Amino acid sequence: MSADKPDREAGAAPRGEAGPATPPDGEASLDTAAASSPVGLGKDMEGESEAHMRSLPGWPGRAFAAIGILVSAFHIWANIDGRVSMLWLVGLHFAGFAFLACLRYPLKIGRFVAPIWLDAIIGAVIAGSTVFIVGSENAIYAQGVHLSPEHWAAAIITILGAIELTRRTTGPIIPTMIVLALAYVSFLGAHIPGVFRFAGLSFETVIFRSIFGDDAMFGTIGRISATFVFMFILFGAFLVRSGAGDFIIDLARALAGRLVGGPGFVAVFASGLTGTISGSAVANTVSTGVITIPLMKKSGFPARFAAGVEAAASTGGQLMPPIMGAGAFVMASNTQIPYLDIVSVAALPAIAYFLTVAFFVRIEAKKRNITGVDDETKSAWQVLKTGGPAFLIPVATLLFLLIKGFTPVYAAGWAILSVVLASWLTKNRMGPRAILEALALGAQNMIMTAVLLIAVGLIVNVIAMTGIGNTFSLMISDWSGGNLLIALALIALASLVLGMGLPVTAAYIVLATLSAPALQGMIENGYLVDLLAHGTLPEAARAPFMLVDPDAMAKLAAPMGREAAEKFIAATPNEVLQLVHGQALDPALVTAALLSAHMIIFWLSQDSNVTPPVCLTAFAAAAIARTPHMATGLTAWKLAKGLYIVPILFAYTPFLYGSVPQILLVFAQAVIGSYAVGAAFEGHMEAPLNWPLRILAAIAGVVVLWPGLPVATAIGAALTLGLLAWTVRADRRSAAALQTA
């Protein structure tokens, strides 16, 4: 495959002991958002360490904040007004954040660190080149889709700028992948033998498509970044500036602080609520962890366990609607499934995940006889009266508008306004200065995400141009032998490897592009097995099977049983199965398989947060707890087992698309099964379990979670609940004996 001409075919300062609380309106200067943003969300949303950022005190901080305010204000106006073309919106989006990224992330070569004036010039050149090349689209077409020397220069500067800024903000892995991808599609592919051979495109075609392709820098993913993602990050920044971070911590302490192991539950609960406004695991950790980790240590939890709980719980923040770490927006774009449909089905699985972490907290608390918070805590009603409006009214406004059918961007705009209005019902009223600080904070929080999503478009564009995604999907199907569980293991391994160098959002985008088609096809094959086993395959869908077996029509007319159906599907080539899917399956089932595949990949992509050797969330928690990084990562990995349990349920059960009773039943499976597995890990429920009981708990948990065995599931659930009841009685007897002693 080759082409000679380009074409249009692709057409923060921690809270609590570590720093001051959010200043009241009128007491902070505008460079607050640049130098020490409130309540922990001053980190970029994907969690880059402050150590890699330039300190911006004085006038540089004020200038940085002022530019951030202008960038945020432009995005609000452009998204609400709707008259700016999408190409211009995404181009200006990248130009603005490229300039901010140059100011915030200095150029470093060896020991040389560029002065801010040099980075300002570099940023201005990248931004100017971006604006020029975006504005030259019509001129390029008028020239017969050829690039003039000035277009060549501007396009190359724009692409190299995206690569360099991604290197500064996320490290060398993504830039290396981009360079290899561009080399592959231009000349390297011609030298690769086998299925990955690609004849190559002209360099002019590659450059043109990298800028103007539908999947390129300013294409689909860039549009998501400039619209949905930034508007929701702005919404989170406004919530934080209004005092929602304090409210979340206080509410968590009021609701869970007095329970056995209360400080651990506070971490889980606070991280879940913080996830609704930040969608970033590291942001969750640094904002809530500075409170919850010392609280857990003080109450008696081991420091490493406390850090692991915070890391595992904060990872769940990226699974919790409505933001989901930008994943919901990318998923909606990739699948064409409405955003509201995605977040509505994602909530219950996210709750199941948080419960899996909470179970470990409860078990550890019972093992160590840890009680609740021993200091004076406000009641939930007191917390709701003082801070509730600033958090509950905006979130309710957002959900109401989404349910009414308004677009997420429109809903986010009104939700931002409602934050300002609701703040006047609290002590932390947002005046003009606070609004400007929130705008600056939102821009700062978006820098890495904006640069990253624009740059990742270069990789996705190459995958789309070459068809390498389909090849990779076929390889997954081949390596797994059509076995869905093996395919899940392969994708989990790939997500872990990618996650060592890529932020979670980028890992999901790349992995979904490569493996989602294969995973969707395997899930659809499972639906076909059910139809064949019961003899309900539509007659019109039987004909393609005759390409493989001339006697297929007779065999498919009657039920063949599950085992025979699985063998029949395994012996049928993928090309034939793809023909059958569209004729045999209800469109709703096809959509369900598509959503399940993407949700599985999205969940598995989170494991790099807590899985050694590179686990940024666990490392951030370890820094707060002052525990060994790798040991903390191993603890967090153990506590985050829900990341692997729930995706298996996505693959084999109607957790995301069934009726309400079916979904609740699967939810109960996840909760009971994960509790049994956790108890087996720890050797404890409400009282200690000896080895025979631990083995029994492990068997019960696996049986409960094993799909397609309703009778066995019921027996496993009964065993788990029976063990729980027995340990409750044993715990009470032990407590009574201590009182009488």
Indicate whether 56 belongs to any domain. Answer: yes
* pTM of the predicted model over 0.85: no
DSSP state of 197: -
Per the structure block, which two tokens stand in for 156?
Answer: 């190359």
Cβ burial 706-738 (10 Å sphere, 16+ → b, else e): ebeeeeebeebbebbeebbeebeeeeeeeeeee
Residues 29 and 126 occupy one common structural domain:
yes
Phi, then psi, of 237 in degrees rounded to 5: -65, -40
Phi-psi region of 267 (alpha: psi -120 to 50; beta: other; left: phi over 0): alpha
Residues 9 and 155 occupy one common structural domain:
yes
Residues 706 and 557 occupy one common structural domain:
no
**What span, in angstroms and rounded, lies between the C-alpha atoms of 42 and 249?**
17
Residues 11 and 126 occupy one common structural domain:
yes
Domain boundary among 600, 623, 641: 600
SS3 readout for 48-79: CCHHHCCCCCHHHHHHHHHHHHHHHHHHHHHH
The radius of gyration of the chain from alpha carbons, rounded to an integer in Å, stands at 27
Residues 588 and 730 occupy one common structural domain:
no
pLDDT digit string, tens, across residues 241-253: 888 877 888 888 7
Please list the ranges in the chain whose pLDDT falls under 50. 1-51
- Residue 219's domain spans which residues? 2-224
**Cα 681 to Cα 510, 656, 670, 688, distances in angstroms:** 34, 28, 16, 12
Q: Please, what is the Cα angle at 686 between 680 and 690, to 5 degrees? A: 45
Per the structure block, which two tokens stand in for 380?
Answer: 């939930």
Alpha helix ranges (H) inside 148-200: 149-170, 173-186
Residues 215 and 75 occupy one common structural domain:
yes
Residues 669 and 588 occupy one common structural domain:
no
Residues 18 and 138 occupy one common structural domain:
yes
Phi, then psi, of 200 in degrees rounded to 5: 105, 150
CA atoms within 13 A on the CB side of 184: 22
31 close to 57: Cβ distance less than 8 angstroms: yes
Indicate whether 34 belongs to any domain. Answer: yes
**What span, in angstroms and rounded, lies between the C-alpha atoms of 383 and 255?**
10
Indicate whether 414 belongs to any domain. Answer: no
Q: Is 191 exposed, middle or buried (0-12, 13-18, 19+ CB in 10 A)?
A: exposed
**What span, in angstroms and rounded, lies between the C-alpha atoms of 665 and 662?**
5
Give the per-residue pLDDT at 37: 39
Phi, then psi, of 696 in degrees rounded to 5: -65, -40
Give the per-residue pLDDT at 339: 87
Residues 38 and 156 occupy one common structural domain:
yes
Domain boundary among 195, 224, 253: 224
**What span, in angstroms and rounded, lies between the C-alpha atoms of 471 and 249?**
48
200 pairs with which residues across the strands? Answer: 2
| Domains identified in the chain, total number | 3
**Cα 3 to Cα 66, 75, 138, 201, 210, distances in angstroms:** 45, 37, 21, 5, 15
Which positions ≥6 away from 422 have C-beta within 8 Å?
Answer: 242, 389, 390, 393, 394
Indicate whether 43 belongs to any domain. Answer: yes
Which positions ≥6 away from 699 have C-beta within 8 Å?
Answer: 716, 719
Residues 677 and 582 occupy one common structural domain:
no
For β-strands 200-201 and 2-3, DSSP reports them as parallel
Give the per-residue pLDDT at 14: 36
**Cα 688 to Cα 344, 421, 454, distances in angstroms:** 38, 52, 52
Residues 721 and 586 occupy one common structural domain:
no
Indicate whether 317 belongs to any domain. Answer: no
Look-up of token digits 């009971």: 672
Q: How much of the chain is in helix, strand and coil states, percent to nearest 5?
A: 75, 0, 25
Phi-psi region of 482 (alpha: psi -120 to 50; beta: other; left: phi over 0): left
Residues 595 and 674 occupy one common structural domain:
no
Domain boundary among 557, 573, 600: 600
**What span, in angstroms and rounded, lies between the C-alpha atoms of 228 and 215?**
17
Indicate whether 290 belongs to any domain. Answer: no
